[in-house]
Amino acid sequence: MADAIPGYVAGTWDLDPVHSHIGFVARHLMVSKIRGYFGKFDVQVVTAENPLDSTVTVTIDAGSIDTGNEARDEDLRSERFLDVASNPLITFRSTSVTPDGDAYKVAGDLTIRGVTRPATLDLEPGGFGPDPYGGTRAGFSATTEINRTDFGVSFNAPIPGGVMVSEKVQIEIEAEAVLRKPE
């Protein structure tokens, strides 16, 4: 199975936050899409000899949300949305990895606003290889779509012909990770 991923390396990987991104997309006023990202997060990936035994753990500082509009960001941090005062972290812990053509499905437990629900990431390995610093790097792209109301993020305002913010939110992850050196 590991042969199907060129250059595959088993080991424990730490995220390179400078070369990684965790973002989201939601519809606004039902006519456009608003994008945002989280500025502070930690991701640990453990690639097993058998890729299907691999694991991923993600911890996001919910207060680091950034949509490019401070007033909107403060509203998203408030009790009406993420309630970061009571729920400062968003987490994902994988429970299984299954093949999906040339990609993988990573199922796990996603916790937002203190509510945990199953979620599945569509994962594409980007590759494995040496970096110019004598280390080894790996890249991963992952996406999923959630219904924010499933996690208690239910505030909305009706507008003619729809609502202010979509219930569906797309999550996008671009991760570059560095292989830990043996101790």
Residue 164: per-residue pLDDT: 57
Beta strands 103-112; 165-179: pairing state: unpaired
Q: For residue 130, is pLDDT > 50?
A: yes
Sequence-distant (6+) residues with CB within 8 A of 70 are: none
Among candidate residues 126, 90, 124, 122, the one with its CA nearest the CA of residue 106: 122
Q: For residue 94, is pLDDT > 60?
A: yes
What count of Cα atoms within 13 Å lies in the side-chain half-sphere of residue 57?
6
DSSP string, 105-157: EEEEEEEETTEEEEEEEEEEEEEEEE-TTS-EEEEEEEEEEEEGGGGT-----
Kindly report the CATH number that applies to the domain delimited by 2-179: 2.40.128.110
Measure CA of the first residue to CA of the last residue in the chain; give whole Å: 27
Provide the CA 29 distance to its chain's centre, in angstroms.
Answer: 24
Q: For residue 163, is pLDDT > 50?
A: no
Is the pTM higher than 0.85? yes
Q: For residue 102, is pLDDT > 90?
A: no
Q: Which sequence spans correspond to the domains of the chain? A: 2-179
What count of Cα atoms within 13 Å lies in the side-chain half-sphere of residue 49?
0
Mean pLDDT of 110-124: 96
Gap between the Cα atoms of 120 and 144, Å rounded: 6
Residue 96: per-residue pLDDT: 98
Mean pLDDT of 73-99: 95
Residue 162: per-residue pLDDT: 52
